[in-house]
Amino acid sequence: MLLKLKVIGVLVVTVIAVVVSAILTVNNITLIPVRSDLNTLSKWILSFSYNPLHPLFTALTPAIVNAIVWDYRSIDTFFETSVLFAAVIGAIVIYYEYLYEKPPRGKGLSPIVKSVVKISMFIAVGLGLAIALKGHMTPAGGFQGGTVAAAIIYIMSMTYSLHWLYIRNIRQVSMLTFRTCGLISLVIVAILPILVGLLTGCNAYILQNQPKINAPIGYSYDVGDYRVSLTILMFNIFEFLIVLAAFTLLLMILSIASMEKRFPE
Amino acid sequence: MNITIFMLNILMVSLIANIVIALYGLIFKPNMIKKIISLTIFSDTASIIAVVIGYRFGKLPLPPVYMEPSNPDYIYELLSRSVDPLPQALVITAIVINLSFIVFLSVITLKLYDVFGSINLHLALRREVIERIEAEYETFEE
């Protein structure tokens, strides 16, 4: 009875949505702005994201969204990484007692599933790494690549068991160490221009990507016959490591915590 | 009737309905897991709205990527056809922050179950009130 009411409710909502849309269309009203031109800021970013002829403004990054995330609005990304860091730290503080806990033994799934995952896990981790490494030239980046690689870790933990991962040194503490190293490396890349500036006596900025008119420090490398930013590549690599380690750590702590509750020894 | 505008209006009305249903779940459902699911739906719908607003109508739109970095004239092609990259960049940040918040909420839910034996907020509150009254009664008896 309840299921029938839910189905009728969904159908009623659908019909109302179509009728309201039809009324709005007949009256020439659009809820989404239909535009064929961009605003000035978007045009500016499109023009200078990869423009070697204007070294003052360019990020030397063909992937424009990555240029925005790691150059033009890099402080937003810095604080976004801090929020992820704080969330994982909060989770560890709440379940601190499981940080050093060994997961119980498990059999995992059937041999057929194990064989399939054995073949595909390297491809999947490689795919995640490729997404992160090419983030400055193609869409995606460090966070997306880290999520793909973390997903395969989750699949491996279900297929083989958490204990299997634990005895191969994919442990809570090692992931925490990995993540901390990734964060420290990210901070070092962010303040590296300032350190180089202090040593060479030049002006520099935090999170600086390419050389500016009054700050001649920047890092880039050649891909075939064009140059791209090295700083953004490094940011993507370290973000990949941070996200992979953070999600694996959360998986292990939360799984062990819930297993202890259901199957107390 | 313009079919494009009709489909866009259906899309927007569906997204608004999604937000309303998510808000209903967030406010009126006492189960923490349902609240977390509603929050996820709400934040993802808001991200979709931001990305859809950045769409560019007219000629076949291009993604905001320099497909030909060696070609200096590609910039004009992008300026005339590329979609707005700004909403996409802001949505990436929003997705990560939402994910962090939902991870933390999930951990809090598990701890709530440890302490109160239930993820229903009404039951948990009732148990806490009963425990407090019992503690006060014991103190009074002493």
Q: Please choose, from the candidates A156, A163, A166, A150, the residue with its C-alpha nearest in 3D space to the C-alpha of residue A118.
A: A156
For range A123-139, the mean pLDDT: 91
pLDDT of residue A1: 81
Interface test with B, best of A34, A240, A242 (most B CBs within 10 A): A34
pLDDT of residue B59: 76
Contact between chains at B56 and A36 (C-beta distance less than 8 A): yes
pLDDT of residue B114: 86
Q: Please choose, from the candidates B46, B140, B133, the residue with its C-alpha nearest in 3D space to the C-alpha of residue B93.
A: B46
Separation of alpha carbons B106 and A142, rounded Å: 24
pLDDT digits (tens, 9 = 90+) for B96-118: 999 999 999 999 998 988 888 88
pLDDT digits (tens, 9 = 90+) for B81-96: 899 999 999 999 999 9
For range A227-248, the mean pLDDT: 92
Helix/strand/coil for A221 = strand
For range A88-103, the mean pLDDT: 90
Mean pLDDT of all residues belonging to chain A: 89
Q: Which residues pair with A223 in a beta bridge?
A: A226
Exposure string over B9-44, b if 16+ CB within 10 A, otherwise e: bbbbbbbebbeeebeebbeeeebbeebbbbbbbbbb
pLDDT at A264 over 60: no
pLDDT at B52 over 80: yes
The pLDDT-based confidence of A239 (bands split at 50, 70, 90) is: very high
pLDDT of residue A265: 47
Chain A residues in contact with B58 by the CB 8 A cut-off are: 36
pLDDT of residue A262: 59
Separation of alpha carbons B141 and B135, rounded Å: 10
∠ at Cα B78 (A232, B46), nearest 5°? Answer: 70
Q: Please choose, from the candidates A182, B129, B14, the residue with its C-alpha nearest in 3D space to the C-alpha of residue B22.
A: B14
Q: What pTM, to 2 d.p., does this model score?
A: 0.88
Q: Could you say which residues from 89 to 128 on chain B have a Cβ atom under 8 Å away from some Cβ of chain A?
A: 89-90, 92-93, 96-97, 99-101, 103-104, 106-108, 110-111, 113-114
Chain B residues in contact with A29 by the CB 8 A cut-off are: 9
pLDDT digits (tens, 9 = 90+) for A152-177: 999 999 999 889 999 998 899 999 99
Chain B residues in contact with A83 by the CB 8 A cut-off are: 96-97, 100-101
Of the listed ranges A23-37, A41-55, A168-182, the least confidently predicted one is A23-37
pLDDT at B46 over 70: yes
Q: Please choose, from the candidates A114, A91, A108, the residue with its C-alpha nearest in 3D space to the C-alpha of residue A258.
A: A91
User: How many domains does chain B divide into?
Assistant: 1
Mean pLDDT of all residues belonging to chain B: 89
Helix/strand/coil for A141 = coil
Complex-level ipTM? 0.85
Whole domain around residue B54: which residue ranges? Answer: 3-141
The pLDDT-based confidence of B45 (bands split at 50, 70, 90) is: very high
